[in-house]
Structures are given as C-alpha cells and as structure tokens.
C-alpha cells in the first residue's frame, strides 16, 4: 500500500515537472515588432527584412517566434509613435528599419530598459549616450556593389553605365561606390554616370532617370531602393541590363536582371536574438558582408544566357560543326 | 547636343502627362468654385484599378475604362461631401487623399501582393509625322495617353471659353447668386465639374500605371496630385498657362537629370531643387499680374444669401 502511494506521488511529481517544462517553453515566445518606411512587398529595403523575419520564424518555429509590423512609416514622427507603442506592449525586440529612426530611438530606448531596439543601416549604438539597449546592423553594401560592377564591366558593350540612387547616404552611397570601383578594376576607362533622385519612392523620376541614362548611351543600369521598380521596367523595355540590390529582383525582368545583391538580415538577427535571450539588451553592431553570408550575390542565368538558348531552340542560331 | 535636347524634350513630355490630366480636371472644378485637394488619392485609385484590370485581363482599354469609372465614383463622393454636405473643402480633400492612399495600398497588398510589371500602352508612331527629324521623334513617337493629355488642353480651352457649358461653369464659380437667378443649376454644374475632375485624375493615375511606368506600388504617385493642384494656381485657372506650368516644371526636372548624368559638377541636392525653385520664381514674378482665384472658390452655395 505504502509502495503504491509512493509510486503515485513520484508519478504525480514527474508529470507536474514535465507539464511545467512544457508550459514554460510555450508560454513565452520571442516577440518582435518591425517598423519600416515602405512595405513588405517593395522589392527592396523593407521586403528584405520581412523575408529575414520569416526565415527566423521558420527556424525557431511559429510557437517560439512571433512578429508584427507597421508599414509606410516614412514620416519619422509616426514611426516614433509606433516604436513607443510596441515598446510599451512589451515586445522583446523592436526593429526600426531605417537610418532616419536613430534620433527617435535615443529618446525612446532609455524609457524601456527591458526592451531591445535595433536599427540600421548604421554603426551607431549610442553607448556614448549611456544607452545599453540598442543594437545596430550594417551591410557592407560596397562589397556587393563591387561584385556587380565587375560583372557589369564584363558585359557592357558601350562601356557606359547608369546608376540611379535615391539619396546620397547610407547603403545607397556605399553600394554606388562599390559598383564604381568594381567597374574601374576591370575597365579603368569606363564612363559611370550617377543620378540621385532625392527620394526613395519617386518611381516616375527614377524611371525617367533610367530613360536618360540609356539616351546618354548606357547599356547597363543599377540602383537601390523601392523606386527602382520603374527603372527596371525601362531597362526591360529598352533592352538594357539591370543590376539589383536588397532582394532578388529578377522576377520583374527575367531577361534583363543579371545579378542582385541580396541582403540577408537573418545573419544579424540570429546572434542578436541569442544575445537578448541571454539577457544582453544592446550595444553591439552587426556587420553583414560576403564573408559571413550577410551579403549574397544572386546571379540570374536567364539574363546571361537565356536569349542565346532561346535563339538556338527557335532555330534563329544554327550551331554548325565542321 | 541634339541627342540631349531630344532626350530632355521627350522626358519633359512624359513627365508632364499625368500632371496635365490632373491639373485640367482640377482647373475645371476650381473654376466652378470647388477646391479638391484629394487629387492624389484619386490618382492612386485610378492607377491601381487600371493596373489591376490590365494585370488580370491584359486589356489596356478596359483598364483605362475602369480607371475612368473609379475616378467618377470618387468624383461623385467628393461632390457629395463638398456640394451637398457643404464640408470645408480643404479639409475634406485631405481626407479623400488619405482614403485613396490607404485604400489603394490595402487593395494592392491583398489583391496583388507584390510588385510586378504589365505591358502598357506601346508607343504609337503617327504616320507621316513621326518621321520628321527631331520634332517627329520628340512629339509623335509617344503613347496614346500622352497624346490624349496634350489634346485635352485645346479641348478644355474650347469648352471653357466657347460653349454655354463653359460660361455656366465660370459663372457658377464667379457669381453663383447671379448664375442661380438666371436659372443655372449650381449643384448640377458643380457635380458635373467635380466628377469630370475625378475622371481626369483617374486617367492621370492610369497614365502612370499602364502607359508610362507599367507597375503599381504603394503611393506610386508620390504626391504628384498636390503638384497638380499647385499647377492650377500657377496656370491662373487657364488651360494654356497650366500647360506652360506643367511643361516648365517637367522640363527643368528633365534638365536636372541630364545635369547629373553628364556629371556637371553641381551637388545633386541643388539640382533636385531646381524645378521647385524655378516654379517659385515664376510664381513670384507672376504675382504682380494680380490674378484672382474664382470668387466663389471654396465657398459652398447657399441660396438667398
């Protein structure tokens, strides 16, 4: 009798222990809020971070990783309100995805010491201001730009290149410098024309800049930010080659988009989340580069050889053997 | 040099196209006494609905027609708010803008989801004229919606200045009481002009999404509708000067792109300001001409005041 009682007590204790473990694991998923200036389907800056969060969610499981987001937060004051709301709702990590949000974070972060904040592209985590809960992330866009430039120099016939940049700062500036250096390393006499649009979202002006570059002799175009979707359309229409940044843009013009610099933000997010789970709230800058896989080059073979294959299939090209 | 001039002129004509549709629509509305600041929102709805239709059916004319219908519905809504409900026009217009911006973004996210291209209106070479050196290349190798925008200017001028309808529209905007006593139906005229303005804003949006850019993205117009309203003031409520204003703004914009492409050593921050600076200078110079807006602009009509 005593023995049975003992067994029951032990079993009960074990089951309570197991149950509590199970509940402990499922009770508190890691929660992320993501604030972006454009939208999750912009084919550029915001979409790349959205895709990274989906990747992390897949890796950690939906029950362990939740995220919410606010789109079209281009106005910094709106974004600041959203950042503060999310922080007060107790999210583990609030990602303010834009270099324009830095000043707001220095105001908000000290009020929420239990929340981590992350922003970029930047190398500033504000530890000099005594703030300890801000992370930063920064892709070395120039490395990707360099690779694109080398390939562009090998493919261009006119040796004239057009760059359609948004605002001369951050990723866009780094990418453009890299692209120029890559071209010059192969063809030092190259003519590289650079236009800045003064906006991340002016699709019409970016498209007109693409027209102008082609009118000026360029047969290779590149550019960054969500406004470039119009320029890619012009490249397609007028038969120029396009080199992309942020995400794989080849779906927009499979015959023209040669290679894209894919920014893999997950490379920064994984160690960041690990640190937060260990209780470190900020203070670290995560750099993304070719070496750590944070920058990835996606080459679209269809733009490189698709036309030739098609011509052979159609019989437009007859390959003769003597 | 010739290539550059042709390039600038072609760019300017393309850039001016959406402004022309939207500004002429707004001009007619304002001449009848209704200020509509919601142009950009209606442009976005026109751009989205045309794009979506073309994406699903491949039929460009159907896309244009849907943009016209959506523009008309928005025009009707604006007319109802401003003419029937007599709302404060400046405020209600901002409301319509935000509604159009939000709704077009929402519909895009839920119905399409990602940026993708369509085949828009192709260039239409006008037989005989498109072969003329320089002029032909600049003017007669554009797409149909570009021709439409420029054809709209003489048409609007004719209707406003040479027809009884135009006289009624202007009378309603200048002296609604007098017009009313002469039997002009103020409410009907204002509904007509505002719905027409909605239609033209819808076409302005479609000219971007299915003729010039052939994509849709959230906030595709990027505030063009507000520039269009400014051009109405710039053009002093006359189609001809609205055209001059739109071409001036677009030409300076086209020039500033060429300045950058040619690597002329002026900071891009400055070249980007050029279209706005030139516009402000011209506006300031014209201020001496003392052109007054329609007397009843922004004033709801009350019979027997």
Determine the average pLDDT of the residues in B70-76.
Answer: 98
Identify the closest residue of chain B to A47 by CA–CA distance.
Answer: B114
Q: A208 to chain B: which residues are within 8 Å by CB?
A: 11, 14-15, 253-254, 257
Residue A191, in any domain of the structure = yes
Instruction: Kindly indicate the confidence band of residue B3, based on its pLDDT and cuts at 50, 70 and 90.
Output: confident
Say yes or no: A188 and A86 in one domain.
no
Mutate to test the interface with B, among A42, A214, A229 (most CBs of B within 10 A): A229
Residue A315, in any domain of the structure = no
Say yes or no: A230 and A146 in one domain.
yes
Determine the average pLDDT of the residues in B215-229.
Answer: 94
The verdict on A207 touching B (C-beta cutoff 8 Å) is: yes
B219 to A72: CB separation less than 8 angstroms, yes or no? yes
Number of domains in chain B: 1
A215 to B7: CB separation less than 8 angstroms, yes or no? yes
Higher model confidence: residue A2 or residue B130? B130
Q: A213 to chain B: which residues are within 8 Å by CB?
A: 261
Residue A129, in any domain of the structure = yes
A71 to B218: CB separation less than 8 angstroms, yes or no? yes
Residue B127, in any domain of the structure = no
B117 to A252: CB separation less than 8 angstroms, yes or no? yes
B7 to A252: CB separation less than 8 angstroms, yes or no? no
**Range(s) of the domain holding residue A165:** 141-246
Say yes or no: A277 and A130 in one domain.
yes
Count of CB pairs separated by less than 8 Å, A with B: 114
Q: B44 to chain A: which residues are within 8 Å by CB?
A: none
Residue A303, in any domain of the structure = no
Say yes or no: A135 and A145 in one domain.
no
| pLDDT for the residue B10 | 94
Say yes or no: A150 and A116 in one domain.
no
Say yes or no: A78 and A35 in one domain.
yes
pLDDT < 70 stretches in chain A: 1-4, 7-27
Determine the average pLDDT of the residues in B155-179.
Answer: 95
| pLDDT for the residue A322 | 84
Say yes or no: A215 and A241 in one domain.
yes
| pLDDT for the residue A13 | 61
> What's the per-residue H, E or C state across chain B?
CHHHHHHHHHHHHHHHHHHHHHHHHHHHHHHCCCCCCCHHHHHHHHHHHHHHHHHHHCCHHHHHHHHHHHHHHHHHHHHHHHHHCCCCHHHHHHHHHHHHHHHHHHHHHHHHCCCCCCCCCCECCCCCCCCCCCHHHHHCCCEHHHHHHHHHHHHHHHHHHHCHHHHHHHHHHHCHHHHHHCCCCHHHHHHHHHHHHHHHHHHHHHHHHHHHCCCCCCCCCCCHHHHHHHHHHHCCCCHHHHHHHHHHHHHHHHHHHHHHHCCCCCCHHHHHHHHHHHHHHHHHHHHHHCCCCCCCCCCCCCCCC
Above 90 in pLDDT, residue B238? yes
Mutate to test the interface with B, among A207, A231, A242 (most CBs of B within 10 A): A207
B268 to A168: CB separation less than 8 angstroms, yes or no? yes
**Range(s) of the domain holding residue B220:** 17-118+136-225
Say yes or no: A273 and A184 in one domain.
no
| pLDDT for the residue A24 | 47
pTM of the predicted structure, to 2 decimals: 0.87
| pLDDT for the residue B291 | 75
| pLDDT for the residue B120 | 94
Mutate to test the interface with B, among A195, A235, A240 (most CBs of B within 10 A): A195
Number of domains in chain A: 2
Q: A41 to chain B: which residues are within 8 Å by CB?
A: 109, 113-115
Question: Which of B208, B218, B263 is opposite residue A204, by nearest beta carbon?
Answer: B208
The percent of residues in chain B predicted with pLDDT above 90, rounded, is 80
Lowest-confidence segment of A18-27, B65-74, B189-198 by average pLDDT: A18-27
| pLDDT for the residue A289 | 96
Residue B59, in any domain of the structure = yes
CATH number of the domain that A221 lies in? 3.40.50.2300
The residues facing A287 across adjacent strands are: A138
Instruction: Kindly indicate the confidence band of residue B302, based on its pLDDT and cuts at 50, 70 and 90.
Output: confident
């Amino acid at each position: 009798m005593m023995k049975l009682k003992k067994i029951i007590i032990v079993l009960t204790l074990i089951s309570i222990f197991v149950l509590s473990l199970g509940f402990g694991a499922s009770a508190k998923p890691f929660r992320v809020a993501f604030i972006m200036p454009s939208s999750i389907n912009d084919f550029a800056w915001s979409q790349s971070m959205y895709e990274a969060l989906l990747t992390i969610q897949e890796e950690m499981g939906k029950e362990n990783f939740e995220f919410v987001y606010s789109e079209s937060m281009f106005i910094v004051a709106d974004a600041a309100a959203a950042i503060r709301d999310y922080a007060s709702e107790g999210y583990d990590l609030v990602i303010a995805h834009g270099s324009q949000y830095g000043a707001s974070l220095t105001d908000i972060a000290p009020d929420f010491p239990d929340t981590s904040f992350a922003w970029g592209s930047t190398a500033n985590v504000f530890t000099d201001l005594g703030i300890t809960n801000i992370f930063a992330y920064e892709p070395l866009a120039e490395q990707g730009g360099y690779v694109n430039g080398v390939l562009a120099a090998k493919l261009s016939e006119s040796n004239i290149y057009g760059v359609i940049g948004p605002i001369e700062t951050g990723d866009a500036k780094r990418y453009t410098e890299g692209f120029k250096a890559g071209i010059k390393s192969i063809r030092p006499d190259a003519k590289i024309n650079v236009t800045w649009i003064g906006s991340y979202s002016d699709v019409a002006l970016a498209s007109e800049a693409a027209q102008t570059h082609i009118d000026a002799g360029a047969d290779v175009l590149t550019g960054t930010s969500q406004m470039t979707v119009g320029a890619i359309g012009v490249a397609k229409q007028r038969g120029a080659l396009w080199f992309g940044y942020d995400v794989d843009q080849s779906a927009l013009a499979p015959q023209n988009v040669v290679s894209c610099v894919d920014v893999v933000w997950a490379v920064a997010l994984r160690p960041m989340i690990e640190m937060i789970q260990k209780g470190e709230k900020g203070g670290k800058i995560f750099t993304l580069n070719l070496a750590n896989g944070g920058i990835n080059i996606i080459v679209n073979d269809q733009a490189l050889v698709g036309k030739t294959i098609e011509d052979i299939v159609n019989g437009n090209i007859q390959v003769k053997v003597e | 040099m010739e290539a550059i001039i042709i390039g600038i002129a072609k760019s300017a004509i393309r850039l001016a196209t959406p402004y022309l549709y939207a500004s002429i629509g707004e001009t007619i509305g304002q001449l009848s006494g209704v200020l509509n600041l919601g142009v950009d929102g209606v442009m976005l709805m026109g751009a989205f609905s045309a794009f979506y239709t073309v994406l699903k059916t491949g039929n460009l004319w159907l896309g244009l027609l849907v943009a016209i219908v959506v523009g008309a519905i928005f025009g009707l809504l604006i007319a109802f708010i401003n003419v029937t409900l007599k709302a404060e026009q400046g405020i209600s217009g901002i409301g319509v803008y935000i509604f159009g911006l939000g709704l077009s973004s929402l519909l895009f996210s839920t119905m399409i989801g990602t940026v993708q291209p369509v085949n828009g209106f192709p260039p239409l070479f006008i037989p005989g004229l498109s072969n003329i050196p320089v002029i032909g290349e600049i003017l007669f190798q554009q797409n149909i919606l570009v021709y439409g925008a420029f054809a709209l200017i003489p048409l609007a001028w004719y209707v406003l200045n040479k027809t009884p309808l135009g006289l009624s529209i202007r009378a309603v905007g200048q002296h609604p009481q007098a017009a009313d006593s002469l039997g002009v139906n103020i409410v009907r005229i204002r509904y007509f002009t505002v719905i027409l303005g909605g239609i033209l804003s819808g076409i302005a949006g479609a000219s971007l999404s299915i003729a010039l850019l052939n994509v849709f993205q959230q906030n595709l117009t990027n505030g063009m509708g507000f520039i269009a309203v400014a051009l109405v003031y710039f053009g002093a409520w006359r189609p001809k000067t609205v055209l001059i204003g739109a071409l001036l703004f677009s030409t300076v914009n086209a020039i500033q792109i060429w300045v950058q492409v040619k690597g002329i050593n002026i900071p891009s921050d400055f070249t980007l300001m050029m279209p706005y600076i030139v516009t402000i200078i011209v506006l300031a110079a014209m201020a001496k001409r003392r052109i007054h807006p329609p007397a009843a602009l922004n004033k709801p009509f009350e019979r027997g005041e």
